[in-house]
């Protein structure tokens, strides 16, 4: 656990959905799409309509990213090597409703083409590499994740109330994208959907820092190995796909948990994908202030990141007390934000906690050492292809070295992906 968990009590969010604060800006973030270099289809100041393509993957032009809302492109910023940092859209007030598209999804090829054209293809991520699938990729199996990695995540059953038909329609559509099974991984209890076909299999996992993660589900049910690719997709994306198949319109909203020890009223809220977190949390903190008094984290307290925008794959915003001071640190992400940093990495001390923090049955310390020195070949042999950054978040927390192993894993995965 991060230090603030030891001193601040985080109240469980009320599991009923309310409308969140009015949002004026949304963003599409490069950090959510590792390895992608965008080819822009708009420029700063452009007027865009909801569902309009705003950029595509330069290497795979069929992979389109669409504007989640209608408005004006406020800014486009880039990171190293012309990777995307953020594309920000300021919402147009009183914008006309998007025109429904005609969706032909009768065959696998039709569904694939329609998902690509609608900008819904980024709903899927691959194992290995944790990237968006190429347009011609075929999954050996698909995992739908409906579990949380912490006690403050939204209850999928609550989120899907009233959307059961859309969720079931989306689940069944996934069968066109794979010849293998589609696993619906959900908490024990009432099934989220009924009347499914044999190739759709329900697997029950308790929510938690390890058991709630897609990597744990994959390792248990269909491990990744050479020549095998699986896809993951979140349950809200599946419901969105199901609604889009029925209406021809992509729903830009997402239900998230607004939680954490500094949240004044922890609860579920409905907001926009990529929402400005400054706007979203206005008046929602115990102190009434935003940063620097409060650390705003997109995602869970375990695997989230300090952010100004809601992440594409996040279903939670966590508010906690910011560290009193920050110094130059080898850490990255949430750990660097919340913890006082060290001037240099400390020694790696093998402990029982390290073994418990990674549930893949691999030698933990050798993997950590391989990642620390960027030995991609050794990391691959030790099983890193099954993992993404979220799978190593708990490991980074309990490690004595002070390093962010998720970030190290990303460097290794990107190197292996380039060589694949």
Checking DSSP bridges between strand 47-48 and strand 64-66, what pairing results, if any?
unpaired
Q: Are residues 145 and 118 in the same domain?
A: yes
Q: Which two tokens stand for residue 416?
A: 């292996």
Q: Quick one: 63 and 192 in the same domain?
A: no
Q: Look at residue 278 and tell me if it is in a domain.
A: no
Tokens of 204: 């029950």
Q: How far apart are CA 328 and CA 212, in angstroms?
A: 33
Is 29 in the same domain as 145? no
Asked, for residue 159, whether it belongs to a domain, the answer is yes
State the chain's mean pLDDT as an integer.
90
Task: Enumerate residues 6+ apart whose C-beta is below 8 A from 15.
Answer: 154, 155, 158, 268
Quick one: 216 and 326 in the same domain?
no
Burial classification of residue 6, based on how many CB atoms lie within 10 Å of its CB (0-12 exposed, 13-18 middle, 19 or more buried): exposed
DSSP string, 149-172: SSTTSPPHHHHTTT-HHHHHHHHH
In a domain, residue 103? The reply is no
Backbone torsions φ then ψ of 401, nearest 5 degrees = -80, -20
* Cα 227–Cα 229–Cα 234 angle in degrees, nearest 5: 170
SS3 content of the chain, % helix, strand, coil (to 5): 30, 25, 50
Residue 398, token pair as written in the block: 């309990």
Q: CB atoms < 10 A from the CB of 212, how many?
A: 24
- Partners of 143 in the β-ladder: 183, 232
Through-space distance between the first and last CA atoms of the chain, rounded to whole angstroms: 36
State the Cα–Cα distance between residues 350 and 329, nearest whole angstrom: 22
Residues facing residue 38 across a β-bridge: 57
**CATH number where 30 lies:** 2.40.50.100
Statement to judge: residues 10 and 53 lie in one domain: no
7 inside domain: yes
347 belongs to a structural domain? no
Domain hosting 76: range is 25-91
Containing 143, the helix (H) or strand (E) segment is: strand 141-145
Beta-sheet pairing, 267-272 with 230-234: unpaired
Same domain for 201 and 123?
A: yes
Count of domains forming the chain = 4
130/232 same-domain check: yes
> Domain for residue 101, yes or no?
no
- Give me the sheet containing 141-145, strands edge to edge: 125-127, 230-234, 141-145, 182-186, 200-204
Co-location of 213 and 170 in the same domain = yes
d(CA 134, CA 232): 14
183 shares its domain with 118? yes
Same domain, residue pair 189 and 215: yes
The DSSP output letter for 417 is H
Secondary structure of residue 214 in the 3-state scheme:
helix
Of the candidates 62, 91, 120, which is a domain's last residue? 91
Q: For 14-163, where are the alpha helices, taking DSSP H only?
A: 108-117, 156-159
Instruction: Look at residue 213 and tell me if it is in a domain.
Output: yes
pTM for the structure as a whole: 0.91
Residues 177 and 328: beta-carbon distance below 8 Å: no
Going residue by residue through the chain (420 aa), what tens digit of pLDDT does each one get? 344 444 456 788 999 999 999 999 999 999 999 989 999 999 999 999 999 999 999 999 999 999 999 999 999 999 998 899 999 999 998 888 889 998 989 999 999 999 999 999 999 999 999 999 999 999 999 999 999 999 899 999 999 999 999 999 999 999 999 999 999 999 998 889 887 788 999 999 998 888 999 999 999 999 998 789 999 999 999 999 999 999 999 999 999 999 999 999 999 999 999 999 999 999 999 876 555 678 999 999 889 999 999 999 999 999 988 866 544 444 444 554 455 444 445 666 667 788 888 889 899 999 999 999 999 999 999 999 999 999 999 999 888 888 899 999 999 999 999 987
Q: Write down the residue that tokens 């190290």 correspond to.
A: 408
Residues 129 and 192 in one domain: yes
Q: What is the DSSP string of 63-89?
A: -EEE-SSSEEEEEEEE-GGG-EEEEEE
Residues 124 and 211 grouped into a single domain: yes
Residues facing residue 365 across a β-bridge: none
Measure the CA–CA gap between 415 and 334, rounded to whole angstroms.
Answer: 24
Position 138 in a domain: yes
SS3 93: coil
Tokens of 58: 């330069």
């Amino acid at each position: 656990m991060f230090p603030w968990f030891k001193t601040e009590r985080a109240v469980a969010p009320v599991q009923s959905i309310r409308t969140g604060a009015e949002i004026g800006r949304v963003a599409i973030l490069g950090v959510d799409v590792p390895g992608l270099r965008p080819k822009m289809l708009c420029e700063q100041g452009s007027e865009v309509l909801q569902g309009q393509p705003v950029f595509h993957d330069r290497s795979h032009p069929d992979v389109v990213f669409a504007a989640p809302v209608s408005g004006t492109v406020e800014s486009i910023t880039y990171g190293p090597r012309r990777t995307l940092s953020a594309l920000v859209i300021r919402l147009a007030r009183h914008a006309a409703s998007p025109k429904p598209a005609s969706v032909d999804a009768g065959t696998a090829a039709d569904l694939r083409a329609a998902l690509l054209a609608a900008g819904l293809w980024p709903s899927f991520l691959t194992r290995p590499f944790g990237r968006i699938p190429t347009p011609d990729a075929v999954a050996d199996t698909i995992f739908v994740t409906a579990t949380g990695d912490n006690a403050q995540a939204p209850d999928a059953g609550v989120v899907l109330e009233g959307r059961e038909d859309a969720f079931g329609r989306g689940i069944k559509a996934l069968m066109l994208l794979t010849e293998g099974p589609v696993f619906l991984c959900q908490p024990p209890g009432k099934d989220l959907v009924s009347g499914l076909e044999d190739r759709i299999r329900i697997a029950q996992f308790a929510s938690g820092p390890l058991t709630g993660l897609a990597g744990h589900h994959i390792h248990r049910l269909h491990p990744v190995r050479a020549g095998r690719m699986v896809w993951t997709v979140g349950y809200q994306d599946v419901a969105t796909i199901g609604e889009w198949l029925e209406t021809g319109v992509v729903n830009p909203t997402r239900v998230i948990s607004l939680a954490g020890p500094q949240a004044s009223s922890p609860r579920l809220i409905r907001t926009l994908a990529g929402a400005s977190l400054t706007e979203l949390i206005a008046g929602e903190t115990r102190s009434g202030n935003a940063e620097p008094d409060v650390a705003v984290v997109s995602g869970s307290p375990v695997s989230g990141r300090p952010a100004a925008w809601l992440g594409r794959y996040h279903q939670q915003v966590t508010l906690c007390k910011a560290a009193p001071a920050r110094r130059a640190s080898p850490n990255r992400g949430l750990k660097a934000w919340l913890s006082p940093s060290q001037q240099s990495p400390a020694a790696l001390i093998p402990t029982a906690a390290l073994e418990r923090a990674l549930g893949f049955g691999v030698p933990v310390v050798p993997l950590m050492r391989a990642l620390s020195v960027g030995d991609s070949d050794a990391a691959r042999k030790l099983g890193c292809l099954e993992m993404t950054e979220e799978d190593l978040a708990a490991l980074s927390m309990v490690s004595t070295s002070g390093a962010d192993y998720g970030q190290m894993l990303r460097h290794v995965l990107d190197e292996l992906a380039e060589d694949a």
